[in-house]
């Protein structure tokens, strides 16, 4: 079965990292996966394509609305199933799949509030073209059915899966973080969704109890300038680094103060690394983090509650990290993800 995945490529975020794991796993199980990348020239996709282990085709996609893109995409879609990811791929890939007569599977990766506005009508229209819709968490399935208005009978939950920490694509440069610091790690895009500002505001209260605690943030995004202005002592905004796993091994816990979240791949990576997780209780995070078993959950947008939870973990980390690793291996394996995805394809054709 030849399955063509369509995704607009803008660097390596959560959905791109998902494809880097899913596509080789599908190939190992007899599926012929091909990626059609809609490349945004404003971003450098070399890291993504360098790590991709399946065949790919690349189509320039410099504009959000581009009628010529549809024609180029139609010519590229020779498939038994077309599988689209995120807004641009859903729109262009969905129409192209219909024109080519191929069944369509669409994966929904996030519960961004903009999907509740006028765009929900586009989502509903694309879903009429789709045979099946995959939601990456149960919370996201409910969001799509109850709030976006997608038909429940089409939407299936298939969690992301990981077996290993992310492979490095280079060596981390020297950093200014003190060697003996107790690292509270945040791996996130610097945007409003991820709530990094909440972690920055929480750190002074953490340092009152643990003066050697520091907040290390890995990621880039539009809020960098605002975060730099907000940050005080002990905050290190290191940007994107080539070896995230090295920081996971160096940290004492992961903090994930998101305001909404499709999945939270960084949370799953931290669990695999045996780190306790302190996260906001929103969207999908309770599906990953079992409160007081694998980590602590707090209300969103509450720096005081976040600081209290971080201090509690630094005081007594206990067995939270070990329990998290066991849960990640048991519930979120690559084999489980790939098998459920193939079940969707078989139901589709």
Tens of pLDDT, residues 29-45:
999 999 999 998 888 88
Q: How far apart are CA 97 and CA 104, in angstroms?
A: 6
Q: Which CATH number belongs to the domain containing residue 129 in this structure?
A: 3.40.50.2000
- Tell me: pLDDT of 161 over 80: yes
What sign results for the dihedral spanned by CA atoms 217, 220, 222, 224? positive
* 59 and 136 part of one domain: yes
Q: Do residues 332 and 263 make contact, with C-beta atoms less than 8 angstroms apart? A: no
* 294 and 339 part of one domain: no
When the pLDDT of each residue in the chain is averaged and rounded to a whole number, the result is 93
CB-count burial class (<10 Å; 0-12, 13-18, 19+) for 63 = exposed
- Structural domain range at position 45: 2-161+333-348
* 119 and 226 part of one domain: no
* 221 and 306 part of one domain: yes
Cβ neighbours for 340, distance < 8 A, ≥ 6 positions apart: 156, 158
* 129 and 213 part of one domain: no
* CA distances for 274 relative to 7, 209, 332, angstroms: 31, 24, 14
Domain assignment present for residue 168? The answer is no
How far is CA 255 from its chain centroid? 15
pLDDT digits (tens, 9 = 90+) for 236-285: 999 999 999 999 999 999 999 999 998 989 999 999 999 999 999 998 89
How many Å from the N-terminal Cα to the C-terminal Cα in the chain? Answer: 10
Domain assignment present for residue 217? The answer is yes
Indicate the number of domains in the chain: 2
- Tell me: pLDDT of 156 over 80: yes
């Amino acid at each position: 079965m030849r399955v063509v995945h369509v995704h607009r490529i803008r660097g390596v975020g959560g959905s791109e990292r998902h494809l880097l794991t899913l596509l080789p796993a599908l190939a190992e199980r007899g599926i012929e996966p091909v990626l059609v990348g809609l490349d945004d020239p404003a971003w450098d996709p070399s890291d993504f394509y360098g790590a991709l282990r399946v065949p790919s085709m690349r189509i320039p996609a410099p504009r959000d609305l581009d009628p010529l893109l549809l024609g180029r995409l139609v010519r590229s879609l020779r498939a038994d199933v077309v599988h689209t990811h995120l807004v641009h791929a859903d729109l262009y890939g969905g129409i192209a799949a219909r024109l080519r007569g191929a069944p369509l599977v669409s994966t929904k990766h996030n519960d961004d509030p903009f999907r509740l506005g006028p765009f929900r009508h586009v989502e509903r229209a694309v879903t009429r073209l789709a045979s099946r819709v995959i939601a990456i968490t149960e919370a996201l399935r409910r969001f799509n059915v109850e709030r976006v208005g997608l038909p429940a009978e089409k939407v299936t939950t298939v969690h992301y899966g990981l077996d290993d920490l992310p492979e490095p694509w280079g060596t981390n440069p020297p950093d200014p973080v003190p060697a003996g610091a107790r690292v509270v790690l945040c791996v996130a895009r610097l945007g409003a969704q991820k709530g990094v500002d909440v972690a920055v505001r929480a750190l002074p209260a953490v340092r009152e109890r643990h003066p050697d605690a520091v907040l290390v943030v890995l990621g880039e995004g539009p809020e960098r300038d605002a975060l730099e202005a907000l940050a005080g002592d002990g905050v290190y905004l290191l940007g994107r680094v080539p070896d995230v796993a090295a920081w996971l091994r160096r940290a004492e816990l992961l903090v994930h103060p998101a305001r909404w979240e499709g999945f939270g791949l960084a949370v799953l990576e931290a669990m695999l690394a045996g780190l306790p997780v302190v996260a906001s209780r929103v969207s999908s995070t309770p599906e990953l983090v079992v409160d007081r078993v694998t980590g602590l959950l707090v209300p969103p947008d509450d720096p005081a509650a976040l600081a209290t939870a971080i201090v509690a973990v630094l005081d007594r980390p206990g067995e939270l990290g070990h329990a998290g690793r066991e849960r990640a291996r048991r519930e979120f394996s690559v084999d489980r993800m790939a098998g459920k995805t193939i079940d969707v394809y078989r139901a589709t054709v």
